[in-house]
Amino acid sequence: MNYLQYTFTLENPEIWSEILMAYLAELPFESFQMEENKLLGYILKNEDCQDRITEIIDALDCEISFSKEEIEQINWNQKWEENFSPLTIEDKIYIHADFHPEKDLPYRIKIQPKMSFGTGHHQTTSLMLSFLLEEQLDGKTVLDMGCGTGILGIFAKMKNAKSVLGIDIDTWSFENAIENCQKNQVDCTILQGDASLLTDQKFDVILANINKNILLQDLPSYVSVLNPKGSVFLSGLYHFDKQDIVEVCENLGLEHIETKEKDQWIALKFTR
């Protein structure tokens, strides 16, 4: 089956490309890449959804135009290997693939990202990892919503979390998170679905690196399964999203503790 390559031309791509990508990731796109200040997105021809794409663009406060062309089948493994470089966070976490050399740091996470988000390269993932470096996780129960590659849950287990539940609605992410947990020899439970899966289990720590709209929709569900004195870490947010998120969280009984920022992307910590 051939693919369609969408080429998006954006005003201020250094800001809006990541925001657009976050929204398009909810559609059946299988991969994204930046090329000469344009965002390229790949989707199977039979899953094209141009009307939905147009709706997303119209809702954003940015000038965005796009074109599309049909291309032949893509070797995704080759493509991500060409673009995935190892990453070090705060001289303590080393994120790498099988084909990268090892590095002697306290935490080493092996990732096969495929089409999933969360290699650590994006500002929001690195901010969440930075928060987790500071967090005492021994014996705690952790929920990772929108787990992507599973990297946050994997790191939580490396920091001696009692249990980790990862949930993602995307099939690629669900399968990839399971694979990466196995690669790192950590025991995480990974489910495919959304916040409707949250029922009786309670958590000490909730991680959600998704996007503003999903967070606003699902925050009541997160709080309903948060233990007393539990912590919530949120990202996938741009700096101008902060006020709306903080207001909703405070209305749900959470206290805003700290904000981390990198290149105008933010991660927020709340406690109950």
H-helix or E-strand spanning residue 67: strand 64-71
What share of the chain has pLDDT > 90, as a percent? 57
**SS3 readout for 145-209:** ECCCCCHHHHHHHHCCCCEEEEEECCHHHHHHHHHHHHHCCCCCEEEECCHHHCCCCCEEEEEEE
What helix, strand, coil percent values describe the chain, rounded to 5?
35, 35, 30
For the segment 33-43, what is each residue's pLDDT rounded down to a tens digit? 778 778 888 88
Q: Which amino acid is at 72?
A: E
Using CA atoms of 94, 97, 100, 103 in order, give the dihedral in degrees to the nearest 10: 20
Convert the pLDDT of each residue in 88-131 to its tens digit. Answer: 999 999 998 887 888 899 999 998 766 555 666 678 889 999 99
Of the two residues 201 and 22, the one the predictor is more confident about is 201
pLDDT of residue 223: 97
From the list 251, 254, 250, 210, the residue with the least C-alpha distance to 230 is 254
| Short-list 170, 32, 173, CA closest to 153 | 173
Regarding predicted confidence, which is higher, 242 or 121? 242
Q: How confident is the model at residue 31 (pLDDT cuts 50, 70, 90)?
A: confident
pLDDT at 30 over 80: no
Binning pLDDT at 50, 70 and 90, where does residue 19 land? confident
pLDDT value of position 78 = 63
Mean local confidence (pLDDT), 48-59: 94
**Structural contact between residues 141 and 202, judged by C-beta atoms closer than 8 angstroms:** yes
**Beta-strand relationship, 189-192 and 203-209:** unpaired
